[in-house]
Amino acid sequence: MSNLDDRLNAFGEKVAKETTKNPERKENFVTGSGEHVERLYTPKDVEHIDYIDDIGFPGEYPFTRGVQSTMYRGRLWTMRQYAGFATAEESNERYKFLIEQGSMGLSVAFDLPTQIGYDSDHALSEGEVGKVGVAIDSLRDMEILFNGIPLDKVSTSMTINAPAAVLLAMYIAVAEKQGVTPDKLRGTIQNDILKEYIARGTYIFPPEPSMRLITNIFEYCAKEVPQWNTISISGYHIREAGSSAAQEVAFTLADGIAYVQAALDAGLDVDDFAPRLSFFFNSHNDLLEEVAKFRAARKLWAKIMKERFGAKSPKSLMLKFHTQTAGCTLTAQQPDNNIIRVAIQTLAAVLGGTQSLHTNSRDEALALPTEDSVRIALRTQQIVAHESGVAETVDPLAGSYYIESMTDKIVKQAEDYIEKIDKIGGAPKAIERGYIQQEIMDSAYRYQKDIESKSRIVVGVNQFKVNEEPPKGLLRVDPAVEVRQKEKISSLKSDRDNSAVNDSLNKLRKAANDPKSNLMPLILDAVKCYATLGEICQVLRDEFGEYVATATL
């Protein structure tokens, strides 16, 4: 390195003279997460990195370069579009539109009452029915939602957490009515309650019974729905709440550690359930930092599963993940600018090796997306896939001094966070103490201060503003949706066998008090009797109680 050292010194002297006359644009250059960026990266920044041990080959431990040997040369990532609004009928039309436009998988957005286990006729649902997703009150709604969509031909992701067991049961029951057996179903339920306590807030039950429901799903699906991803451990909402890239990796994997440990404590074998774990990450604006983040997450999870949990199957070591472009970066000002932001974020996800991807629409800072906006978002993925050339070779940025240095840095920062969380007693304890939440809030505060001081430019917000007319043509949910949903529930309860419903709910109540009982078969029985989501969740509320968040100072 002596010659390189000499050349670096000479280069430094040269730049020092140049910048005395012509200073650089800023005194300090940082990533989207606020990490310092050097002027130049050279072999000296990666001399401690061993190619075989730290980077390796795609499809091989430590999976830094990807979980498949050929990656997108074999098959492209699954192009999903997250959708759902108003009624099951309207959402079904949107799903069919997306499939016609080339979407390769469905991703279901549920309304807020559904997310927290209330039927549309509950007092707390008033004004929220169908607003941020589709209202699903019973199996009857789910039948309509997937009418004409063969569930053995599509992969479906459902963003649902606290009542995930109920929505999964409804999906299984719809498939059976189509003649599709559970072993043919492919898809994912988010089912990640820890990040709800951290960053999002759509929880119902306290941590202990919530973890029981999650491990019940692990156990049930390992036997009955083997192709289903039983959890999508989510960093997306952690990043949306304001975390840095390294925090997103650290806190997400810390949650993953807690889920694996809970499953082991429940008597499951790690190699029976670990291959069906999946992850969900955010793709933010800093393209190169995001690529390094995805690579770091893969490398670190492989190490955790191998060294901490003793997983033997290579599939148990693979961090497979879905990505969504960053909603928090979308601006109401000059919304067409969001198309460019989403394109950059799409490129980051693909260069980082995602397995599936949702691209946000340009108008989502203002309302639910229109069909035109959704089509542009999907076309963004298709152009990156078929025209950009980045999918032609595996992990094309590997070997970049900057990328490898940043990947290594994020790994080390995430390991430091996980070590602190371990000392506290694991992710659930760290959440109870407010440690994780406080770290995210501090990061978000720093980010916002940078915007307000204009040390971080957001185009159209704190720089390059224009006078704009109010937006037109936004999608609005008709208030009549709530009236129709209430009418549906009333009709359902008069048509169904209420004796069978009550019997199924009583059996579920009894099993909820037996910690050794797996609740999934009983929830499935209740769903098939057309017990509503709210009725099932109320039984569990009665027996498990409700979680009340503690204040974080």
pLDDT score of 305 more than 80: yes
Mean pLDDT of 380-399: 98
pLDDT tens sequence across 89-104? 999 999 999 999 998 8
Q: Which CATH number fits domain 51-79+86-104+151-162+186-432+439-452: 3.20.20.240, 3.40.718.10, 3.20.20.70, 3.50.50.60?
A: 3.20.20.240
Q: pLDDT grade, residue 355 (50/70/90)?
A: very high
DSSP string, 396-458: TTTT-HHHHHHHHHHHHHHHHHHHHHHHHTSHHHHHHHTHHHHHHHHHHHHHHHHHHTTSS--
pLDDT tens sequence across 78-131? 998 888 888 999 999 999 999 999 988 899 999 999 999 999 999 999 999 999
pLDDT of amino acid 1: 55
The tally of CA atoms less than 13 A away on the side-chain side of residue 187 is 28
Rounded to the nearest integer, the mean pLDDT of the chain is 96
Q: How do the domains of the chain map onto residue ranges?
A: 51-79+86-104+151-162+186-432+439-452
For the whole model, what pTM was predicted? 0.94
pLDDT tens sequence across 391-400? 999 999 999 9
pLDDT of amino acid 487: 97
pLDDT score of 453 more than 80: yes
The tally of CA atoms less than 13 A away on the side-chain side of residue 10 is 6
Residues 6+ apart with CB under 8 A from 196: 161, 162, 202, 203
Q: pLDDT over 70 for what percent of the chain?
A: 99
Q: What is d(CA 342, CA 364) in angstroms, rounded to the nearest whole number?
A: 12
pLDDT score of 417 more than 90: yes
pLDDT tens sequence across 424-444? 999 999 999 999 999 999 999
pLDDT score of 553 more than 60: no
pLDDT tens sequence across 507-537? 999 999 999 999 999 999 999 999 999 999 9
